[in-house]
A and B are shown apart, each in its own frame.
Chain A
Amino acid sequence: MTERRQKFANLGPGLCFASPWVVGFVLLIVFPFLASLYWSFCQYDMVNPPRLVGTENYQRLFRELKTGEGFGKAVFNTAYFAVFSVPLSIALGLILAKFLSWKIRGQAIYRTIFFLPSIIPVVAASILWIWLLDPQDGMINYLLSFIGLGQQNWLNQSREAISVDNVKQIGQSIQTGGPLRVFGSKDGLVLISLWGVGNWIVIYLAALRDVPHHLYEAADIEGLGGLRKFWHITIPMLSPVIFFNLVMGLIKSVQTFTSIYIISEGTGAPNESLLVISLHLFVSAFSDLDMGYASAIAWLMFLGLAICTVLLFRTSRYWVHYRAGSV
């Protein structure tokens, strides 16, 4: 009896201290979560009350997924961006972190230089990159012109560097000697995201510090070269962090909104090549006032992300090595 009373003695203060979150969780998480689920089965314009229409919104989404218009296009664009930006960021971040862990003079200055771009506000970075990626007098094309690639329509063309059409066109250009146009708007976006890889570097650097030094010493005795040490020791020891960054990077890249909104002026231009899911959702909700359809987008996106995350977790047991005693 007294034990039970003691257990509940702190209920008042505990709940009191946590009350902002209790209210916040119910009002800003649980209710919105359920409301958007309900609205995804409704036709709703925020003026008239929502009207149930069954699975109509979802049917429309799956139809568009098949035809590749609207939502289908948004899914493709989002996937393209995520598939290239996340692995490239992970690889670049790892390599740079390895370089930055070298014990040499000026290490702190080098680290600052690589980290600085990641704290530049997205709005400012977008203004800067719109200018840098300008096809006529942008700096990037100027730099690329030294290797004969100076005519990229970075943000002005709906082209994907890695696509069948593009490979064919590049083949033709090589035969005819025309200008080599490789990159399009989404590739520009990937480039911008690689510039902001500094956050990831900081995380890798912290993890690199924890790799036991005796492993490298043992490798030295075995006569392993630098590259093999990196592949056989550093990467396996860092795999939990790589996995964490993979999951967080996926979630973040799929949700990318601000830079894309600013670069495409809120439309997904050019030619809907920057119409990603989050932008399509925003436009459907607040320009078309089609809240039901937009809620269905949000839910499919949420489910898709959840499935991807679960799949990643399932593959993790094959390549992520957790050391005993650490999680």
Chain B
Amino acid sequence: MRFENIGRHLILISLAALFSIPLLVLFSGSLKSKEQLTRDPYSLVSDEVHFSNYHDAVAAMPFWQYTLNSLTLCIGCVIGTTLSCALIAFSLSKIRWPGRTVLWWTVIIALLLPWHVTMIPRFLIISKLGLYNTLWAIILPTFLGEAFFIFLLRQFFISIPDELFEAAQIDGMSFWQMFSRIAVPLSIPAMATVALFKFIEVWNDFGSPLLYLNDPQKFPLAYGLERFVSSYADQTHLLLAAAVLFTLPIIILFFLAQKTFVQGISTSGIKG
């Protein structure tokens, strides 16, 4: 029994080493000077530590402007998605009305449709609305709901017993009161999952800014960083430092909300 466990640890440790090497060299590389990185790129511990890389990377691009744009997008989209999807999911699970089933099918259809098919006309709509090259181009559509998150929240709302709402109806509560006083407070964990996933999705999103933004003043980090890659191709130490700065909030978020993460993925099957 004991020997078996040692063997298992050996297998897991060697595989874990393979998986964690890329991230470890990313962190150690981001702390090396340019010369060091060419001379000795992969050692995890080096004699000198260059925190100045972070400073230089931030100075090399409008880092804080990008961060501000990213945060604006994230907050806007999180509000839009959680609000609209909760309302829609409530209607799809707790209000009995004709057409509900049909609408549920439209959610399923939207879930399965690849984004390519709708990309070009969407771009045209956004441009025609005068939203091209504004952050609203990315934020506003989230207020119209998103299939994946509607799906997630509906599954959660369904698990709230109907008796609660029937009792509330007898007490003369309106649907809005049932939504805001019963459904929302009871589904804080599910809403947190939606908010967390949406935040990360928007923070990482590269496609939408590529499509809708062309003024560098409005770029979020994910997109600004890519621009930085093409112009600083020979400054790997700065690229690595910038990549770490961009990744760090996500890693911190992960460690703060590990449970929500794992539960969200295993109940929904897919992430974003």
**What is the interface of chain A, defined by CB distance below 8 A to chain B?**
7-8, 10-11, 13-18, 20-25, 27-29, 31-33, 35-36, 39, 46, 96, 99-100, 102, 104, 106, 110, 112-117, 119-124, 127-132, 137, 139, 142, 195, 199, 202-203, 205-206, 244, 248, 251, 254-255, 257-258, 261-262, 265, 277-278, 281, 285-286, 291, 294-295, 297-299, 301-302, 305
B110 and A127 form a contact (CB under 8 A): no
Q: List 26 A-B contacts (CB under 8 A).
A: A7-B98, A8-B97, A10-B96, A17-B87, A18-B87, A18-B91, A20-B145, A29-B106, A29-B110, A32-B117, A33-B117, A36-B118, A36-B121, A46-B124, A113-B16, A119-B250, A123-B243, A130-B229, A131-B29, A139-B21, A199-B270, A251-B114, A295-B120, A298-B116, A298-B119, A301-B114
A8 and B9 form a contact (CB under 8 A): no
A203 and B247 form a contact (CB under 8 A): no
B266 and A206 form a contact (CB under 8 A): yes
B103 and A31 form a contact (CB under 8 A): no
The number of chain B residues with a CB under 8 A from chain A is 86
Q: How far is the CB of B141 from chain A (nearest CB, A)?
A: 6
Which residues of B are found within 8 Å of A96, using beta-carbon distances? 15
Which residues of B are found within 8 Å of A132, using beta-carbon distances? 22, 25
Query: A123-B225, A248-B270 are known contacts. Are A131 and B236 too (CB-CB below 8 A)?
Result: yes
B117 and A20 form a contact (CB under 8 A): no
B210 and A261 form a contact (CB under 8 A): yes
Which residues of B are found within 8 Å of A21, using beta-carbon distances? 84, 88, 103, 106-107, 144-145, 150
Select one of A8, A99, A117, A137 contacting B23, CB under 8 A: A117
Which residues of A are found within 8 Å of B118, using beta-carbon distances? 28-29, 32-33, 36
**Distance, CA A122 to CA B205, complexed state (A):** 8
Contacts A120-B250, A122-B204 known; list 9 others, CB within 8 Å: A14-B91, A17-B87, A18-B92, A21-B144, A33-B117, A39-B120, A121-B246, A124-B225, A285-B120
**Distance, CA A32 to CA B115, complexed state (A):** 10
Query: Does B136 make an interface contact (CB < 8 A)?
Result: no
Which residues of B are found within 8 Å of A112, using beta-carbon distances? 258
B269 and A244 form a contact (CB under 8 A): yes
Which residues of A are found within 8 Å of B100, using beta-carbon distances? 14, 18
Which residues of B are found within 8 Å of A285, using beta-carbon distances? 119-120
Which residues of B are found within 8 Å of A261, using beta-carbon distances? 206, 210
Query: A28-B125, A255-B116, A281-B116 are known contacts. Are A262 and B99 too (CB-CB below 8 A)?
Result: no
Select one of A29, A113, A278 contacting B113, CB under 8 A: A29
Return the chain B residue nearest A301 by Cβ.
B116
**Distance, CA A24 to CA B114, complexed state (A):** 16
Select one of A31, A99, A199, A281 contacting B15, CB under 8 A: A99
A-B contact count (CB 8 A): 237
Query: A13-B175, A28-B122, A104-B8 are known contacts. Are A119 and B206 too (CB-CB below 8 A)?
Result: no
Select one of A20, A121, A302 contacting B203, CB under 8 A: A121
**Distance, CA A124 to CA B110, complexed state (A):** 29
Which residues of A are found within 8 Å of B58, using beta-carbon distances? none
Return the chain A residue nearest B115 by Cβ.
A255
Query: Does B11 make an interface contact (CB < 8 A)?
Result: yes
A262 and B269 form a contact (CB under 8 A): no
**Distance, CA A18 to CA B95, complexed state (A):** 10
A142 and B42 form a contact (CB under 8 A): yes
**Distance, CA A11 to CA B96, complexed state (A):** 8
Query: A124-B243, A127-B229, A301-B114 are known contacts. Are A35 and B95 too (CB-CB below 8 A)?
Result: no
**Distance, CA A139 to CA B109, complexed state (A):** 44
Query: A36-B120, A99-B15, A286-B211 are known contacts. Are A24 and B97 too (CB-CB below 8 A)?
Result: no
Return the chain A residue nearest B126 by Cβ.
A28
B204 and A123 form a contact (CB under 8 A): yes
**Distance, CA A124 to CA B222, complexed state (A):** 8
Query: Does B251 make an interface contact (CB < 8 A)?
Result: yes
A119 and B88 form a contact (CB under 8 A): no
Select one of B21, B125, B250, B266 contacting A205, CB under 8 A: B266
**Distance, CA A170 to CA B130, complexed state (A):** 56
B254 and A28 form a contact (CB under 8 A): no
Return the chain B residue nearest A116 by Cβ.
B23
